[in-house]
């Protein structure tokens, strides 16, 4: 497993570097236009950059510059631009020749602003933090080094000038640990469960104190001894001495940050969130301020509103006498930020002032990092806060009411790919009443999740790949756990708070999450979790409620969300909830903006009713073959397949006709005049026949035929590649009586509706057409049946005939096909298979490797391949309109419910997308966002 992953990472690194090189020429030209300016400074209320320069300065650097410009207390620093990252990878990990001189000027700006000298051994030495900064936030995915600039001499100077030896050596210990890990590669080996530096600390604490104590209780002497042990560990693991020169330290840290752009977790994260490798990261070098100087200092992370549930409250955590990494690492469980009100009231009031300033300026919820040094507040970062779908919905609605944003911005603020979180199940109340909570933690990601517990990210990922529902349970998570977090249904940690790594990443991914459930005793060696007198082993079930922060033993049943019960069941209590009301308002805003309709893929009245409740404007795909499997219908279908003559086939089809007619009638009634695209029989006939001998014997008895005849027919219908075989329109070319029966069923149902004054709008779709003549023959049958039924029933009804474009030849000859088609519906599931030459059912053996190597940026059966398959779609649109300018165009593959694909469909001018009922709200939101973005362009 490790070898495969290593090979995949190597391939991914190589591919990502190539992608970075692609943008090099363009970026280099941009750099030349700025005359080789690679370093942008800020300090004392002035900044070279601003908040609009995220592409060049990264999100962190741009916002540090912006906060400086609006007068917030930001320690001075400078940003090394993303273009240097591009140059770094394009030139064998070397830097532009101008960079050293520009960095020296950046250091001078910091020294002047802060009043300290970098590397000073006499006075207060300027120490710096070195952090990454991509244009899109990637929390915890890249590397950071704090307290840089310390060595055996500067640490003594720091101790002397502050008269605080414990603080000075605490900083030095932290620096060696971070630098040793990030820059020098002293990390845990495959056979180790604990980080090597943490193992040294734990061993020392037990050796000296006989127990585990918090780091802030370590004395100056303790930290001095740990510094010596850490240096020895670095020497043992790397064969090198720890570097003493601050400028060499800075160069090493910068290289580590740039290199971390291509580390495994960053690559995995970028792939999940479609962040291009060629963007690169900036490096931010900022003067250190210290939260670990004593009882009047501390560090914290906060959100201007609650990112889990959306409440308008200052929400976050802090630790006294600690640095920022202590808060986010999850090693200690911090205190709620509101506690500062009692401990340092003036600092708390200043934070509330900054909170209001940031929201008014950025008009969005901010995620901030701050340090309090001797009661004074300093801002280290702000960025738009990651949020759950529930919080995003409430933020957007509240900010419109507060007149901070308009309704169009509110629509854009709700990520379409997260919207289905709002529809996710919650625990059944009756089940919860019977169950007993065995632990309580901090609710970090709302929702309900049950799964088999795994204490290791690799094992969790492997179990999920086998189809298991998984909970990742850790003492605390780190960025190395990303793969397991992606695979898990939910995340549970014993330590850490609501701003820890686990909580932050879980919220972004929409994972159910509980942090800081300190009653849990996790034993990595035994692979057990003990709590409340019970012990759970890997593979046992736990259930977590991320809304309440409660942990339950075993597996709990779930129930639908308030939105589901409110919309589909008319539940009055659910309809009164704020969540339901905000969702309905969001959908109303979507209707005001959208150009494309959203239809549903539905095969029965219940599915239609659900989809219409979700806002569907009709059916984009009714798979008629699904109707043949209910009750005794399958027997009539099998009788038709086994028939030796046309007469016998027609007799069997006559048995199916009433079933199909009644189904279509019920569907038309549920649609209330909305259009219904009805696809004629598509799968190969062998799919309807039994393949086990026992089932074949049962069928022979039912139909009164010989078992040998059934076996022979099954053998006759066997195909080596059924997807490309005797299916779709080819069936009706061979057996036109099938198409006749289906057309008659549709039109008799339509006639009955018309007689009952129910509006109908049937659209007959012929599948798998690659030749115009195929459609011409089928359309002829449909039109003939329509005439017959209208004459027999003395009614008139409107209908359309079109085709599904799902093979490349159909797209390339769309101008000919449009002679006989009033609409095209793109069947992108099969169009993707035939265009890529890949079977979606058989791609599992290489899919992961292809994504690891960035061959497939996304699963092409989940997100439409716009570059390749998209060309076929666009050719078909252009050619179809040449022949029939008013041709109706839509998509009915499941891509029609995926946000990126929906936005592409808007761009190329489709009239509608169609998806499964429960994806309709997602598609409506994505379609509205596409229209708003287009209108603002």
Share of the chain residues as helix, strand and coil, in percent rounded to the nearest 5:
50, 15, 30
Report CA 548 to chain centroid distance, whole Å: 23
Rounded to whole angstroms, how far apart are CA atoms 379 and 845?
48
As a three-state string, the secondary structure of 659-692 is HHHHHHHHHHHHHCCCCEEEECCCCCHHHHCCCC
Task: Render 712-731 in DSSP notation, one character per residue.
Answer: HHHHHH--SSGGGSS-THHH
The 8 Å CB, 24+ separation contacts for 702-710 are: 702/635, 703/635, 703/638, 703/639, 703/642, 705/642, 709/642, 710/642
Q: H or E stretch including 273?
A: helix 264-273
> What gap in Å lies between CA 473 and CA 471, rounded to an integer?
6
CA distance 845 to 851: 12
Q: What is the C-alpha separation between 273 and 135, in angstroms, rounded? A: 13
Listed residue (829, 830, 813) closest to 821, CA to CA: 813
Active-site annotation holder among 85, 171, 501, 895: 501
- Using alpha carbons, select from 243, 239, 271 the residue that is nearest to residue 256: 243
Phi, psi of 860, deg, nearest 5: -65, -15
**Angle CA(895)–CA(897)–CA(903) in degrees, nearest 5?**
80
Q: Is 653:738 a contact under the CB 8 Å cutoff?
A: yes
523 φψ region: left (φ > 0), alpha (ψ -120 to 50), beta (else):
beta
Q: In the annotation, is 622 catalytic?
A: no
- Cβ-proximal residues to 299 (8 Å cutoff; 6+ apart), any chain: 291, 292, 318, 319, 322, 323, 324, 326, 327, 369, 370, 371, 372
Neighbours of 210 (CB within 10 A): 8
Cα atoms in the 13 Å half-sphere on the side-chain side of 679: 30
| Chain centroid to CA 573 | 31
Q: How far apart are CA 578 and CA 249, in angstroms?
A: 53
Pull the structure tokens for residue 455: 């204490």
Reply yes or no on whether 691 is catalytic. no
Q: Which of 513, 590, 753, 892 is an active site residue?
A: 892
210, 212, 217, 223: CA torsion to nearest 10: 80
Antiparallel, parallel or unpaired: β 281-287 and 77-80: antiparallel
Count, residues in the chain: 937
Catalytic amino acids?
A: 501, 892
């Amino acid at each position: 497993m490790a070898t495969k992953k290593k090979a995949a990472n190597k391939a991914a690194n190589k591919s990502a570097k190539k992608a970075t090189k692609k943008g090099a020429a363009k970026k280099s030209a941009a750099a030349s236009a700025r005359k080789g300016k690679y370093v942008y400074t800020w300090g004392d209320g002035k900044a070279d950059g601003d908040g609009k320069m995220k592409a060049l300065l990264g999100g962190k650097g741009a916002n540090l510059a912006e906060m400086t410009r609006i007068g917030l207390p930001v320690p001075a620093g400078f940003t090394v631009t993303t273009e240097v990252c591009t140059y770094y990878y394009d030139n064998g990990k070397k830097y532009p020749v101008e960079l050293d001189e520009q960095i020296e000027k950046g250091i001078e700006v910091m020294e002047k602003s802060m009043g300290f000298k970098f590397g000073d051994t006499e006075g207060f030495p300027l120490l710096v933090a070195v952090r990454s900064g991509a244009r899109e936030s990637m929390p915890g995915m890249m590397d950071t080094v704090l307290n840089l600039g310390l060595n055996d001499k500067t640490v003594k100077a720091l101790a002397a000038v502050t008269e605080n030896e414990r603080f000075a050596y605490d900083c030095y210990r932290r620096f060696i640990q971070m630098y040793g890990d990030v820059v020098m590669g002293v990390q845990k080996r495959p056979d180790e469960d604990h980080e090597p530096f943490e193992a040294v600390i734990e061993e020392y604490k037990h050796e000296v104190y006989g127990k585990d104590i918090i780091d802030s209780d370590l004395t100056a002497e303790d930290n001095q001894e740990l510094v010596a042990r850490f240096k020895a560990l670095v020497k043992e693991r790397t064969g090198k001495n720890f570097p003493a020169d601050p400028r060499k330290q800075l160069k090493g840290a910068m290289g580590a940050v740039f290199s971390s752009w291509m580390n495994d977790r960053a690559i995995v994260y970028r792939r999940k969130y479609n962040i291009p490798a060629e963007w690169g990261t900036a490096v931010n070098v900022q003067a250190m301020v210290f939260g670990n100087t004593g009882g009047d200092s501390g560090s914290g992370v906060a959100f201007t509103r609650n990112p889990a549930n959306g409440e308008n409250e200052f929400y976050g955590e802090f630790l006294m006498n600690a640095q920022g990494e202590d808060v986010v690492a999850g090693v200690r469980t911090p205190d709620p930020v509101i506690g500062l009100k009692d401990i340092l009231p003036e600092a708390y009031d200043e934070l509330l002032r900054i909170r209001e300033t940031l929201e008014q300026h950025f008009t969005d919820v901010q995620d901030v990092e701050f340090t309090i040094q001797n009661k004074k507040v300093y801002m280290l970062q702000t960025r738009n806060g990651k949020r759950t779908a529930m919080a995003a919905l409430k933020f957007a609605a509240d900010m419109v009411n507060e007149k901070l944003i308009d309704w169009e911005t509110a629509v854009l603020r709700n990520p379409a790919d997260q919207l289905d979180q709002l529809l996710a199940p919650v625990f059944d109340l009756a089940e919860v009443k019977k169950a007993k909570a065995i632990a309580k933690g901090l609710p970090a990601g709302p929702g309900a999740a049950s799964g088999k517990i795994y204490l290791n990210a690799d094992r969790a990922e492997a179990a999920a790949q086998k189809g298991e529902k998984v909970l990742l349970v850790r003492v605390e998570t780190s960025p190395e756990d990303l793969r397991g977090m992606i695979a898990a249904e939910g995340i549970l940690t014993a330590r850490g708070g609501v701003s820890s790594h686990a909580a932050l990443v879980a919220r972004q991914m929409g994972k159910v999450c509980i942090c800081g459930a300190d009653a849990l005793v996790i034993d990595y060696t035994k692979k057990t979790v003990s709590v409340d007198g019970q012990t759970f082993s890997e593979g046992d079930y736990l259930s977590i409620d991320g809304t309440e922060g409660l942990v339950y033993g075993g597996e709990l049943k779930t129930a639908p969300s308030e939105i589901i019960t409110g919309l589909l069941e008319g539940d009055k209590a659910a309809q009164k909830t704020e969540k339901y009301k905000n969702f309905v308002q969001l959908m109303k805003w979507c209707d005001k903006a959208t150009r494309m309709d959203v239809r549903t893929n539905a095969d029965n009245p219940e599915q239609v009713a659900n989809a219409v409740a979700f806002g569907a404007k009709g059916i984009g795909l009714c798979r008629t073959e699904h109707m043949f499997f209910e009750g005794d219908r399958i027997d009539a279908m099998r009788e038709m397949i086994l028939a030796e003559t046309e007469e016998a086939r027609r007799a069997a089809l006559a048995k199916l006709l009433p079933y199909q007619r009644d189904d279509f009638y019920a569907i038309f009634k549920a649609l209330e005049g909305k259009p219904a695209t009805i696809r004629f029989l598509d799968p190969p006939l062998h799919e309807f026949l039994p393949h086990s001998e026992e089932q074949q014997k049962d069928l022979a008895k039912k139909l009164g035929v010989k078992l040998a005849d059934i076996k022979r027919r099954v053998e006759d219908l066997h195909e080596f590649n059924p997807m490309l075989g005797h299916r779709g329109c080819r069936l009706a070319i061979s057996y036109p009586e099938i198409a006749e029966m289906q057309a008659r069923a549709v039109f008799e149902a339509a006639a009955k509706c018309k007689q009952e004054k129910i509006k109908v709008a049937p659209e007959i779709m012929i599948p798998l057409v690659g030749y115009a003549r195929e459609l011409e023959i089928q359309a002829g049958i449909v039109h003939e049946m329509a005439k017959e039924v209208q004459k027999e029933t003395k009614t008139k009804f409107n209908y359309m005939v079109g085709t599904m474009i799902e093979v490349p030849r159909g797209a390339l000859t769309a101008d000919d096909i449009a002679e006989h088609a009033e609409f095209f519906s793109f069947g992108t599931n099969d169009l993707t298979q035939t265009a890529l030459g890949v079977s979606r059912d058989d791609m599992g053996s290489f899919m992961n490797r292809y994504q690891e190597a960035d061959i497939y940026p996304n699963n092409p059966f989940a997100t439409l391949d716009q570059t390749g398959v998209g060309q076929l779609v666009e050719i078909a649109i252009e050619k179809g309109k040449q022949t029939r300018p008013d041709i109706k165009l839509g998509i009915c593959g499941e891509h029609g419910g995926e946000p990126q694909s929906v936005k592409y469909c808007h761009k190329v001018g489709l009239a509608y997308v169609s998806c499964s009922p429960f994806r309709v709200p997602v598609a409506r939101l994505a379609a509205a966002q596409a229209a708003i973005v287009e209108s603002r362009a």
